[in-house]
Amino acid sequence: MAARRRLYDPTGERYGIPTFPWRMAPDGLATRRQLRARGLRLWYSRRYWCKGTSPIRVAYLYRLDLAKPVRPMTPAKWAVLAKANAAQRVCPECRRDAGYRIPTSLGMCVSCADAPQVAA
């Protein structure tokens, strides 16, 4: 219970930003995952946002009233995504489409990895 009191700083006096213990945030605030589940996104560009490190697990909270709807995927974005996924399915050894993403631990399709190595 001491940890809850330590993290409860709704005015931001102690830490510089308002902090709340687990499941004690007021209504109108949500985490990034909660925003995404509602079909919303952050209202600002994450490009300028730099997440700091902390020994305590944190979940940043965002105001629901400032969140915007998620942008829909355009045909161009779908095409680029399909091309990237297809490139990850091609085995660099046999040059065939494996039908699944090539494991990075193997670096090749499973059938090429399982094939006996021929000494030159």
| This prediction's pTM | 0.48
Tens digits of residue pLDDT in 61-114: 888 899 999 999 999 999 999 999 999 999 999 999 999 999 889 889 988 888
Yes or no: say if 113 and 106 are a contact pair by the CB < 8 Å rule: yes
Cα dihedral: 83, 88, 94, 95 (round 10): 10
pLDDT of the residue at 118: 60
Question: In terms of Cα–Cα distance, which of 103, 117, 92, 7 is closest to 57?
Answer: 7
Report d(CA 54, CA 110) in Å as an integer.
40
Tens digits of residue pLDDT in 28-76: 888 888 888 999 887 654 444 455 655 556 677 888 899 999 999 999 9
Higher per-residue pLDDT: 47 or 6:
6
